[in-house]
């Protein structure tokens, strides 16, 4: 009898809770009423904003009273695109949203040529012989494919692939594009009629991010207001999960038993910290070094929101301009003068191959020098790097790893929710939706 009483009392100490206070975890916390455990001292994850004064290095979580600071996002420009109207309504109930129409381009630095994105719908910017070859190749039957490279070849043809799609995706995927499965085709849709139209005249803007929204205040405000509706526990970094004993061990030395978990942690990391294994080879991911720069605006700084790059001395694949989207990213005194620019630069790395601090500093200097040579910037006032360990997730062709890993975790009461947890690409609005759906299913447990 004593044994059964002890077991019963032990079971009563167990609970269901949420790991991670990014947008998915916060939405799950709101919908379920369950407590949320976050590794850092603030909510939002990589969907967070911060501020740095010109000439300084300290990150501020809120703008200074005088407004004299650059605003950046942790993971680069986290614009809110797509999503169900109900999710955008929810986000808009927490913060005022400003709406924007995408203005982006492919930049061929060797020719100083800007071609509006998507490239295949704006062929009139290219040479006539290239246009003819590209349209002829896109008109051919697609055929079968296994890898991303094969899909691009069948979809866009060798001409456009050699010109843009191969070199860009080589940088974007850190060299994986010829081995990973094709995915996210909606990012660059192929429509032969639009391609023909764009070879002759203006073509309509298409793609998943043709329009987007962003909080008028900042992403921090959205995260904080969502967190105010949750039972938050900060500075709770998960170190290990003992799945058979059903307990989470935190890096501060505390332990918390669980009955079930909603996890927004990356799927590969959850498999590591649980010690669980599956038969399939782990699907790959890429890390990204985001370099946020505040600088004097150069004479030839473009007006696009972001540029896709095919060849850079520094190795980055995308450079974005926060302040071209909205001057509110600039120090207050520069918002009307147009003499400053806030930039984010992204470079991909193979999974977890993080450069040393010295290498990051050298890279930052090289990027600044290259942007100065392009006359995008003058003197740099802020150069601030952030390492995103799991930034983009990919799959091997015919891989079953993701599904096997998810099922394995579920067998121990761990339910993965959100972009990185379920190894998929999606934006903030869809991540909020996933959190709400998961949280609602756990509502009675709170």
Q: pLDDT per position in the chain (446 positions), as tens?
A: 333 333 333 334 569 999 999 999 999 999 999 999 999 999 999 999 999 999 999 999 999 999 999 999 999 999 998 878 999 999 999 999 999 999 999 999 999 999 999 999 999 999 999 999 999 999 986 778 899 999 999 999 999 999 999 999 999 999 999 999 998 665 666 889 999 999 999 988 887 788 999 999 999 999 999 999 999 999 999 999 999 999 999 999 999 999 999 999 999 999 999 999 999 999 999 999 999 999 999 999 999 999 999 999 999 999 999 999 999 999 999 999 989 999 999 999 997 789 999 999 999 999 999 999 999 999 999 999 999 999 999 999 999 999 999 999 999 999 999 999 999 988 899 999 999 999 999 986 55
Q: How far apart are CA 292 and CA 320, in angstroms?
A: 9
Q: How far apart are CA 233 and CA 166, in angstroms?
A: 45
Beta strands in 92-210 (DSSP E): 97-101, 104-108, 113-116
- List, as one string, the DSSP characters of 404-443: HHHHHHHTTTEEE-STTTTT----HHHHHHHHHHHHHHTG
Domain 2-41+234-283+395-445 top-level CATH class: alpha beta
Q: Domain residue spans in the chain?
A: 2-41+234-283+395-445, 49-103+284-393, 119-206
Whether 49-103+284-393 and 2-41+234-283+395-445 are alike in CATH topology: the answer is: no
3-state secondary structure of 161: helix
Enter the pTM of the model.
0.93
Contact 333, 270 (CB under 8 A): no
Contact 296, 377 (CB under 8 A): yes
- Residue whose C-alpha is closest to residue 428's, from 67, 8, 7, 45: 45
3-state secondary structure of 138: helix
3-state secondary structure of 246: coil
Half-sphere exposure of 359 (CA within 13 A, CB side): 7
Domain 49-103+284-393 top-level CATH class: alpha beta
């Amino acid at each position: 009898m004593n044994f059964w009483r002890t077991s019963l009392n032990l079971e009563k100490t167990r609970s269901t809770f949420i790991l991670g206070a990014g947008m998915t975890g916060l939405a799950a916390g709101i919908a379920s009423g369950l407590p949320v455990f976050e590794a850092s001292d603030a909510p939002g994850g990589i969907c967070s904003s911060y501020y740095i004064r010109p000439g300084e290095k300290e990150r501020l979580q809120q703008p200074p009273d005088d407004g004299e600071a650059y605003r950046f996002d942790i993971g680069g420009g986290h614009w809110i695109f797509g999503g169900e109207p109900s999710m955008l309504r929810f986000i808009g109930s927490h913060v005022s949203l400003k709406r924007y129409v995408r203005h982006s381009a492919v930049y061929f630095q060797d020719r100083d040529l800007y071609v509006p994105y998507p490239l295949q719908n704006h062929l009139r910017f290219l040479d006539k012989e290239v246009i003819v070859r590209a349209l002829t190749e896109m008109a051919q039957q697609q055929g079968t494919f296994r890898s991303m490279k094969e899909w691009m070849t069948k979809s866009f043809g060798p001409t456009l692939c050699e010109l843009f799609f191969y070199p860009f995706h080589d940088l974007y995927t850190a060299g994986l594009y010829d081995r990973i499965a094709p995915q996210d085709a909606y990012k660059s849709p192929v429509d032969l009629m639009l391609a023909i139209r764009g070879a002759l005249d203006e073509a309509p803007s298409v793609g998943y991010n043709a329009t987007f929204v962003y909080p008028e205040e900042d992403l921090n405000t959205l995260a904080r207001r969502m967190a105010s509706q949750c039972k938050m526990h900060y500075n709770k970094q998960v170190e290990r999960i003992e799945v058979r004993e059903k307990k989470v061990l935190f890096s501060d030395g505390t332990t918390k038993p669980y009955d079930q978990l909603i996890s927004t942690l990356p799927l590969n990391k959850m498999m590591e910290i649980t010690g669980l294994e599956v038969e399939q080879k782990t699907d790959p991911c890429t890390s990204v070094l985001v370099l946020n720069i505040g600088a004097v605006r150069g004479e030839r700084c473009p007006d696009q929101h972001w540029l896709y790059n095919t060849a850079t001395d520094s190795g980055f694949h995308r450079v974005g301009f926060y302040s071209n989207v909205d001057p509110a990213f600039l120090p207050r005194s520069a918002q009307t003068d147009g003499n400053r620019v806030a930039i984010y630069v992204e470079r991909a790395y193979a999974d977890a191959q993080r450069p040393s601090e010295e290498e990051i500093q050298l890279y930052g200097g090289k990027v600044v020098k290259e942007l100065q040579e392009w006359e995008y910037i003058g003197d740099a006032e802020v150069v601030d790097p952030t390492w995103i360990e799991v930034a983009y997730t990919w799959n091997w062709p015919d891989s079953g790893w993701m599904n096997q890993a998810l099922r394995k975790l579920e067998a121990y009461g761990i339910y993965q929710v959100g972009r990185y947890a379920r190894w998929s690409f999606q934006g903030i609005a869809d991540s909020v939706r996933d959190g709400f759906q998961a949280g609602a299913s756990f509502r009675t447990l709170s």
